[in-house]
């Protein structure tokens, strides 16, 4: 047996990069591996530099998506100083768990096998779709556009670099008279990446919009969003002075210098959430302002008060990494995410049990695979009919 090959594939599996033939190969190799070999495999994987695989990631790989029976939970590795050998020894059936999780991952990535959720016509996942609106009101459907230059005006060029990525090039900083407002909007079931005139990068989730000037001013870089967006901001200077970057969304304005952060501003969620991954941001509202540190999230409710919490940043940006990550979410919250991505309607057919969902699954699979995971880990049944998902409680035996 090629032990190095298993270790290589296991590392890819831990990062959700295992697809197609490699997933099949991994399932076969791990299923046939002697139990004595597994501790060595995981000890090797544990030497990956910290940060490549987070504690939450380890827990979810073996606890959330792979657990068919909610009552049979795998012990979580609470202390990284605990050796992987000890951890695996506490889980005698680890090889079966890994085998099942890879099979489920493989089924999800291929859409193979019948879903337990009843379906008359499956719904495919969202894709790279967006509409660009230029300053003169002209609209360009980006998913229909060819790769290359699609618009040029003044000092600004708009280039479709590849499927799903738009770049705005501005030759210099400008003033109010030299700039026009542009807008990129994704529909339900769409996502897109935009490189702004200052080369900052923005990822738009489904049903989201960003508005920005074709040329940023010398005093500030101001954009506005609706929906959800993830930002990686470049530092910019004019005459030795940093030019602040500001994002308006609803009642808040987020001020940054150079940082990575996510803003969830869907109106139907009822709250504004800003999650900081790197750097620092200040959240301004009419009630004042608060500074966020990496790993923190600000939440603004209907009354406008800003609350700061420590948070799981992986959950906040899972959508950007092509995944759903549910962490103690009610079914209403889960299905709002699913509905936006698959562009479907949701009907709750009766009163639902009070339960919370935990799970991790790719967004690049048909909706039946997502519903299958929810049905196997909860007390609900799902039925798909003509773009609508009907949900009701499972019958008691």
DSSP result, 218-281: SS-EEEEEEEEEEEEPPP-EETTEE--EEEEETTEEEEESS-EEEEEE-GGGSSEEEEEEES-E
Tens-digit pLDDT profile for the chain (397 aa)? 456 677 677 666 666 565 556 666 666 666 566 656 655 655 555 554 444 445 555 554 444 333 333 333 333 433 433 334 333 333 333 444 444 444 444 444 444 444 456 656 789 999 999 999 999 999 999 988 889 999 988 778 999 998 899 999 987 655 545 678 999 999 999 999 999 999 999 999 999 999 999 999 989 999 999 999 999 999 988 888 999 999 999 999 999 977 899 999 999 999 999 999 999 999 999 888 899 999 999 999 988 889 999 998 999 999 999 999 999 999 999 999 999 999 999 999 988 778 889 888 889 899 999 999 899 888 899 999 999 999 999 887 6
Domain map (residue ranges) of the chain: 3-110, 118-124+321-393, 127-316
Q: For tokens 């060029």, what's the residue?
A: 157
Domains 118-124+321-393 and 127-316 share a fold: no
Q: Nearest-CA neighbor of 26 among 93, 104, 79?
A: 104
The CATH code belonging to domain 118-124+321-393 is 3.55.50.30
The CATH code belonging to domain 127-316 is 2.60.120.1440
């Amino acid at each position: 047996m090629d032990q190095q090959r298993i270790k290589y594939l296991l590392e890819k599996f831990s990062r959700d990069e295992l697809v197609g033939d490699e997933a099949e190969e991994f399932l076969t190799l791990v299923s046939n591996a002697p139990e004595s070999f597994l501790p060595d495999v995981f000890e090797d994987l544990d030497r990956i530099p910290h940060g490549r695989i987070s504690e939450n990631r380890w827990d979810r790989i073996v606890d959330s998506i792979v657990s068919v029976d909610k009552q049979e939970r795998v012990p979580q590795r609470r202390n990284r100083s605990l050796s992987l050998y000890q951890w695996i020894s506490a889980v005698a059936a680890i090889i079966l768990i890994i085998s099942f999780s890879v099979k489920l991952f493989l089924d999800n990535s291929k859409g193979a096998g019948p879903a337990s959720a009843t379906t008359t016509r499956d719904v495919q996942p969202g894709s790279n779709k967006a509409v660009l609106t230029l300053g003169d009101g002209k609209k360009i459907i980006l998913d229909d556009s060819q790769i290359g230059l699609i618009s040029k005006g003044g000092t600004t060029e708009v280039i479709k670099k590849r499927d799903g990525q738009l770049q705005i090039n501005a030759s210099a900083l400008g003033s109010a008279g030299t700039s026009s407002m542009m807008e990129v909007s994704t529909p339900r079931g769409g996502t897109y990446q935009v490189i702004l005139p200052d080369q900052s990068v923005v990822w738009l989730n489904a049903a989201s919009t960003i508005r920005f000037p074709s040329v940023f001013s010398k005093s500030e870089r101001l954009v506005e969003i609706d929906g959800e967006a993830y930002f990686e901001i470049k530092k910019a200077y004019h005459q030795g002075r940093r030019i602040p970057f500001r994002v308006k969304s609803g009642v808040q304005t987020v001020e940054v210098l150079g940082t990575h952060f996510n803003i969830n501003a869907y109106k139907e969620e009822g709250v504004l959430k800003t999650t900081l991954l790197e750097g620092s941001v200040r959240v301004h509202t009419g009630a004042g302002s608060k500074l966020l540190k990496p790993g923190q999230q600000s939440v603004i409710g209907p009354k406008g008060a800003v609350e700061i919490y420590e948070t799981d940043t992986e959950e906040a940006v899972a959508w950007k990494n092509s995944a759903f990550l549910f962490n103690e979410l009610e079914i209403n919250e889960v299905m709002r995410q699913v509905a936006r991505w698959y562009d479907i309607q949701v009907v709750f057919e009766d009163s639902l049990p009070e339960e919370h969902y935990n799970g991790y699954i790719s967004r690049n699979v048909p909706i039946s695979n997502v519903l299958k995971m929810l049905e196997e880990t909860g007390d609900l049944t799902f039925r798909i009919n003509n773009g609508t998902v009907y949900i009701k409680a499972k019958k008691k035996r």
